[in-house]
């Protein structure tokens, strides 16, 4: 029997809050953690049906879950969201705090630098960085001492592709924030790391990596392991990072790209 399963059976279930977990990398992470006996708070923006489906899959694995709506780009809604989280923790798990925060929700941007409008910049910045900053701040009182935070960055913060300046810049900011949080939250024994996926076959950015064979092939030729990533490659890596054995890793950028653009 796995250690995590024993922990669950002893009434010490760990709980993760994953933003943007109705599909893609967030869903994969939620299911990977659920398989280890971790309870999950799934957040979604518009995809309520998909989010409830993820909750059903998690429950089928033998652990508890709930789906809560959250607009990570609208800071004014965060106080009400925190109230919902508190209520869910009490109602479902009979506890006041959770263990893992995975800041996964985000949007892409495909405009070139010269074509990027202020409105587009603000939308991407608010969701990918400002929202992560202040949501994490609001949730800190509910995160256990010794807990974990994982922020989703991107391989594009290291290598470059035209049309990704705005998106990649927000992920660069996430990586700097990760290091600062690791330093400032260390006194609470909270670890903070950034996971940076490479090109992955999801519906992100219109599903271009997943659905365009030419793009898929071109990127795969730049990857040491010879293919683009799959959601489970990323979700599994995040779940592994949150294992007790990795408690001494903090303030790090961990790229999960199969060796893209080395």
pTM of the complete model beyond 0.75: yes
Q: Where do the H-state alpha helices sit in the chain?
A: 3-9, 24-34, 48-60, 78-88, 118-125, 131-139, 165-184, 208-211, 213-220, 231-241
Paired with 192 in beta bridges are 149
Neighbour-count burial of 187, counting CB atoms closer than 10 A to its CB (0-12 exposed, 13-18 middle, 19+ buried): exposed
The answer to whether 146 and 244 have CB atoms below 8 angstroms apart is: no
Which among 167, 168, 191, 204 is annotated as catalytic? Answer: 167
Neighbour-count burial of 83, counting CB atoms closer than 10 A to its CB (0-12 exposed, 13-18 middle, 19+ buried): exposed
pLDDT tens for each residue of the chain, 262 residues long = 344 444 443 448 999 999 999 999 999 999 999 999 999 999 999 999 999 999 999 999 999 999 999 999 999 999 999 999 999 999 999 999 999 999 999 999 889 999 999 999 999 999 999 999 999 999 999 999 999 999 999 999 999 888 899 999 999 999 999 999 999 999 999 999 999 999 888 776 666 677 677 788 888 999 999 999 999 999 999 999 999 999 999 999 999 999 999 9
* The CATH number of domain 13-200+231-253, selected from 2.30.110.10, 3.40.50.11540, 3.40.50.620, 3.40.50.720: 3.40.50.720
- Listed by start position, the domains of the chain span 13-200+231-253
Active site residue 180: no
């Amino acid at each position: 029997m796995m250690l995590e399963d024993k922990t669950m059976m002893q009434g010490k279930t760990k709980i993760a809050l994953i933003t943007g977990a109705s599909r893609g990398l967030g869903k994969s992470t939620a299911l990977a953690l659920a398989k280890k006996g971790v309870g999950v708070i799934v957040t979604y923006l518009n995809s309520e049906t998909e989010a409830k489906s993820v909750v059903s899959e998690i429950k089928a694995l033998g652990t508890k879950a709930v789906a809560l709506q959250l607009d990570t780009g609208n800071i004014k809604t965060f106080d009400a969201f925190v109230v919902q989280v508190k209520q869910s923790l009490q109602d479902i798990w009979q506890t006041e705090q959770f263990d893992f925060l995975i800041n996964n929700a985000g949007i892409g941007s495909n405009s070139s630098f010269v074509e990027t409008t202020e409105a587009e910049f603000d939308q991407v910045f608010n969701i990918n960085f400002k929202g992560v900053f202040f949501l994490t701040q609001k949730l800190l009182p509910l995160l256990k001492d010794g807990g974990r935070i994982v922020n989703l960055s991107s391989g594009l913060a290291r290598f470059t592709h035209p049309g990704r300046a705005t998106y990649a810049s927000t992920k660069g900011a996430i990586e700097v924030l990760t290091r600062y949080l690791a330093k400032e939250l260390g006194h609470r024994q909270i670890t903070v790391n950034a996971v940076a996926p490479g090109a992955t076959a999801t519906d992100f950015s219109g599903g271009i990596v997943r659905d365009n064979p030419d793009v898929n092939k071109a990127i795969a030729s730049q990857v040491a392991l010879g293919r683009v990533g799959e959601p489970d490659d990323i979700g599994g890596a995040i779940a592994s990072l949150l294992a007790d054995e990795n408690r001494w890793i903090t303030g790090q950028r961990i790229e999960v790209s199969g060796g893209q653009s080395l």
